[in-house]
């Protein structure tokens, strides 16, 4: 079945460091790919998405490119801030109209001043 694998956390960075969180997927067909973020004490919110190969999603300085050849959707940010400390989830939505998402296990990011 479809699945998503994220790099293990936690990831600890200093402010202004470069961030990469790896995400790879297994799916049949052409899934849509998402990054969600969960700030402490809150629910998840959509950070960015890409719906077809070579699409780049971007938001709040974060970017991810849908790479079909490597089945990857790595999250990057050039300069992280303390306020980016959160849990990040990679997810895919397969074909069909139900809107079901399959999530990775989540990666905790801690940014220190």
Partner 1 sequence: DVKVTQSSRYLVKRTGEKVFLECVQDMDHENMFWYRQDPGLGLRLIYFSYDVKMKEKGDIPEGYSVSREKKERFSLILESASTNQTSMYLCASSKRGSYNEQFFGPGTRLTVL
Q: Containing H/E element for 4?
A: strand 3-6
CB contact set of 70 (below 8 Å; sequence gap of 6+):
24
Residue 43 touches partner 1, criterion: CB under 8 A:
yes
Among 21, 44, 92, 109, binds partner 1 (CB under 8 A): 44
Which residues partner with 49 through β-bridges?
A: 34
Among 41, 69, 70, 113, binds partner 1 (CB under 8 A): 41
Residue 74 touches partner 1, criterion: CB under 8 A:
no
- Residues 49-68, interacting with partner 1 (CB under 8 A): 49, 51
Which residue stretch of 19-27, 55-63, 73-81, 95-103 sits at the interface with partner 1 (rule: CB under 8 A)?
A: 95-103
Residue 29 touches partner 1, criterion: CB under 8 A:
no
- Taking the least distance from each CB to partner 1, the nearer of 76 and 103 is 103
Tell me the closest approach of the beta carbon of residue 70 to partner 1, in angstroms: 21
């Amino acid at each position: 079945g479809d699945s998503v694998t994220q790099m293990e956390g936690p990831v600890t960075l200093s402010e202004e460091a470069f961030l990469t969180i790896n995400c790879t997927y297994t799916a049949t067909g052409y899934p849509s790919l998402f990054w969600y973020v969960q700030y402490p004490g809150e629910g998840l919110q959509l950070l960015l998405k890409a719906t077809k190969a070579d699409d780049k999603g971007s938001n709040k300085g974060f970017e991810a490119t849908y790479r079909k050849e490597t089945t990857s959707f790595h999250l990057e940010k050039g300069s992280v801030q303390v306020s980016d400390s959160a849990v990040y989830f990679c997810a895919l939505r397969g074909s069909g109209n139900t809107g079901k998402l399959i999530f990775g296990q989540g990666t905790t990011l801690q940014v220190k001043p």
